[in-house]
């Protein structure tokens, strides 16, 4: 699993951690040992301890590139694996998921506007952002219904929810910096990627990958544009600037903190 993660990291970002990662571990260990030497606060310590990707080993990148298939396969592609999805739909669990999806067809999409972020600023209550989770749950249930049944009954509502998610003022939770992200241009700047943003990216990408041209073209194009601006541009910019010692926009990128695994998975 460790080696698989390293391969995925190389393929996605074009970065190669030398050997078994001992250079990164050594840098992290030294920084952690120095933690108690000063009391400069969490952010200063985080910046100091955070290891940086070493210079790229381009020959190794080329070697791994030869292992890639000519075309990436979409995991669970409902068009290619229709028979398997149909079998699952006939089970009790499949019927339950279809029933849950039908209930969502008549429910309104939970409202999520700048007001929710401002409410968190004033109260510090994370519940003001609950609508984001409710939207994700709605999309998940609708996608399950469509991929199992495969008759198009849920596509209209799926498109509506996708449009709503992509129109949100930010994908970053307000308690992780979302307030500072509101109003930023979609492109030509950096967007911090937190746990919520990375999870939203994976969910949106899977939906448009599975249903492709069965969704309205505007929905697909808008979703891809938002994914590029909020996720991929910043992710790749961070991942490809190796051998530098300036802070990463996404501090978790080269870190061993649990955010690294979760955010890389979503991205």
- At residue 234's C-alpha, the angle toward residues 228 and 235, to 5°, is 90
Q: What is the pLDDT of residue 6?
A: 36
* CA dihedral of residues 256, 257, 261, 267 (deg, nearest 10): -110
Cα distances from 238 to residues 20, 45, 248, in angstroms, run 21, 20, 6
Q: Do the Cβ atoms of 110 and 135 come closer than 8 Å? A: yes
Cα distances from 155 to residues 144, 165, 205, 226, in angstroms, run 11, 15, 15, 20
Residues of the chain with pLDDT under 50: 1-43
Distance CA 15, CA 27 (A): 17
- DSSP character for 107? S
- From the list 197, 158, 190, 160, the residue with the least C-alpha distance to 175 is 197
- From the list 170, 173, 183, 143, the residue with the least C-alpha distance to 159 is 143
Distance CA 131, CA 168 (A): 11
Token digits for 239?
Answer: 């991942």
The pLDDT tens digits of the residues spanning 184-237 come to: 999 988 899 999 999 999 999 999 999 999 999 999 999 999 999 999 998 988
Question: CB neighbours of 261 closer than 8 A, spacing ≥ 6?
Answer: 5
pTM of the full structure? 0.77
Q: What is the pLDDT of residue 205?
A: 95
Distance CA 110, CA 134 (A): 7
Q: Do the Cβ atoms of 230 and 194 come closer than 8 Å? A: no
Q: What is the pLDDT of residue 258?
A: 87
| Phi (first) and psi of residue 191, to 5 degrees | -120, 120
Strands (E), the chain: none
Question: CB neighbours of 51 closer than 8 A, spacing ≥ 6?
Answer: 23, 24, 27, 28, 31, 254, 255
Question: CB neighbours of 125 closer than 8 A, spacing ≥ 6?
Answer: 119
Q: What is the pLDDT of residue 4?
A: 35
Using only C-alpha atoms, the chain has a radius of gyration, in whole angstroms, of 21
């Amino acid at each position: 699993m460790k080696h698989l993660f390293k391969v995925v990291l190389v393929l996605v970002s074009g970065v190669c951690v030398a050997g078994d990662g001992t250079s990164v571990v050594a840098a992290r260990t030294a920084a952690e040992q120095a933690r108690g030497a000063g009391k400069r606060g969490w952010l200063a310590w985080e910046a100091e301890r955070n290891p940086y990707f070493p210079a790229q080993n381009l020959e190794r990148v080329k070697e791994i590139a030869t292992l890639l298939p000519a075309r990436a396969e979409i995991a669970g592609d409902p068009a290619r694996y229709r028979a398997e999805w149909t079998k699952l739909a006939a089970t009790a669990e499949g019927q339950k998921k279809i029933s849950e999806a039908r209930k969502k067809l008549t429910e309104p999409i939970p409202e999520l506007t700048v007001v929710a972020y401002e409410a968190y600023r004033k109260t510090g209550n994370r519940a003001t952002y609950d609508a984001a989770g409710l939207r994700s749950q709605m999309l998940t249930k609708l996608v399950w219904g469509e991929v199992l049944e495969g008759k198009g009954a849920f596509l209209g509502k799926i498109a509506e929810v996708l449009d709503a998610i992509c129109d949100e003022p930010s994908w970053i939770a307000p308690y992780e910096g979302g307030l500072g992200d509101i109003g930023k241009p979609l492109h030509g700047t950096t967007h911090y990627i937190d746990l919520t943003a990375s999870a939203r990216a994976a969910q949106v990408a899977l939906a448009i990958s599975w249903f492709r041209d069965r969704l309205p073209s505007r929905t697909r194009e808008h979703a891809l544009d938002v994914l590029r601006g909020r996720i991929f541009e910043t992710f790749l910019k961070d991942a490809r600037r190796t051998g530098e010692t300036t802070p990463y926009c996404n501090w978790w990128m080269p870190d061993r903190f649990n955010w690294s695994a979760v955010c890389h998975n979503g991205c």
